[in-house]
Amino acid sequence: PLYLIIPAFVLIGFGMSNITPLAYSAAGRQREMPLLPAVSIMSTAGYGGLLTGPALLGFIAYGLSLEAVFGFLAVLTVMSFTLIVLLRRYYV
């Protein structure tokens, strides 16, 4: 039902909106490479995802189904949070 979907997407947006600032902060704090190249790589990856993400998801939806796209996004979300936890132990 639509009355459950819209609040769910709002909550997902609030939960996911802090990933980009945290990623830039982690890129600035890491010591593996200089600050400016690290932040520029972060920006390139972010904008690359903004450009290729919708096309990739549309391709998956066309080939499989919209449910497969949402399942794929759920798997990516779980993987990103798992990587955050694992890398936080390594870099902090």
Amino acid at 91: Y
The arithmetic mean of pLDDT across residues 60-69, rounded, is 93
DSSP 8-30: HHHHHHHHHTTHHHHHHHHHHH-
Q: Where are the domains of the chain?
A: 2-91
Task: Answer whether residue 92 shows pLDDT above 70.
Answer: no
Residues 6+ apart with CB under 8 A from 46: 20, 23
Cα(14)–Cα(81) distance, integer angstroms: 15
The per-residue pLDDT for range 13-36, each reduced to its tens digit, is 888 888 888 888 888 888 888 999
pTM higher than 0.75: no
What pLDDT shows up at residue 59? Answer: 94
Give the Cα-Cα-Cα angle 31, 35, 36 (nearest 5 degrees).
155
